[in-house]
Copies of this chain bind each other. A is one copy, B any other.
């Protein structure tokens, strides 16, 4: 089986590539080829699987046709301009997130006798306030950002192209991934990870919002699990509705902090400094807090149900089991 990850240099893409490289199989079938694609050069993990890396920009006409030339049976489409950048650069966001996605879908459509599984990374940004405390599987899309709009359009295209039989698609709306590894970044959502990752490494962290703020989380490990499950799932079970909100854990920042205390002690918690930031408070106020993901759950998707498990996953996967 030939598996392609578009967005293979991103956080989830890299972790998914490492997992596939380690397992050597997907959906019980041997992977004989893994292709990692991104705008920046992806890194090929060590593996007995033959891994190719490619630097390519999906928003350049002709790129999608070239990428699918070798007819990968499974395509993970994780590439995107993130929320903040898509808001700051209107043209770039639409070029990558809408046109890039559509060109990929069209290249597949126009390739004769080709019908791969396509896993599309969508986002809870397709939802915008006001919404119910728990967003259900039938709540409508009211994105408040261009990024959310582009993801919602990607979902609609994926559904129509799948209905037409051009490919076998599934769109998965990830919760906010926490704990994001690496350095603190400037994304408005960064603090959700920073206040855990930095203290776990003995470093200080800033909390810009109230501990009462509630949000929707899953670990990077769970995110990789979502991708694998979406690739393995019998899509006949999706019927005409191929886009799903994935399970996650609804928790307040205060609950994050108490989980940190339980796992790493008072010393870690003492490294968090509360420093309210009105801009971030306002942005976060428009974000979804909780979901009822009955459909995804019935389809077998699973996330953590206890924040301590999210922290432990980080310690095992990123810190070699030691803090």
Residue ranges of A at the interface with B (Cβ–Cβ < 8 Å): 90, 128, 138-144, 146, 149, 152-153, 156-157, 159-160, 163-164, 240-241
Residues on B with C-beta less than 8 A from A241 are: 142
Once the chains are docked, how many angstroms separate the CA of A246 from the CA of B153? Answer: 23
Decide if B143 touches A160 in the complex (CB within 8 Å).
yes
Other-chain residue from B90, B144, B240 in contact with A142 (beta carbon distance below 8 A) = B240
Residue of B at shortest CB range from A144? B240
Other A-B pairs, 13, CB within 8 Å; known A128-B240, A138-B139: A90-B164, A138-B140, A140-B140, A140-B141, A141-B156, A143-B156, A144-B240, A146-B160, A146-B164, A149-B156, A152-B156, A153-B153, A153-B156
Say whether, besides A142-B240, A240-B128, A240-B142, A160 and B149 are in contact (CB < 8 Å): yes
Copies assembled: 2
Closest to A149 in B: B160
Report Cα–Cα, A90/B160, bound state, in Å.
11
**Nearest chain B CB to A314 CB, angstrom units:** 34
Q: How far is the CA of A106 from the CA of B147 in the complex (A)?
A: 17
The 5 closest A-B pairs by CB, nearest first: A149-B160, A140-B140, A149-B156, A138-B140, A153-B153
Closest-CB distance, A288 to chain B (whole angstroms): 14
Closest to A128 in B: B240
Partner of A149, one of B90, B139, B143, B159: B159
Q: Measured between C-beta atoms, what is the minimum distance from A302 to chain B in Å? A: 23
Please indicate the chain B residues that have their CB under 8 angstroms from the CB of A159 in the complex: 142-143, 149
Residues in B with CB closer than 8 Å to A146 are 160, 164
Residues of B within 8 A of A143 (CB): 156, 159-160
Known A-B contacts A140-B139, A141-B140, A142-B241; A157 and B164 likewise in contact (beta carbons under 8 Å): no
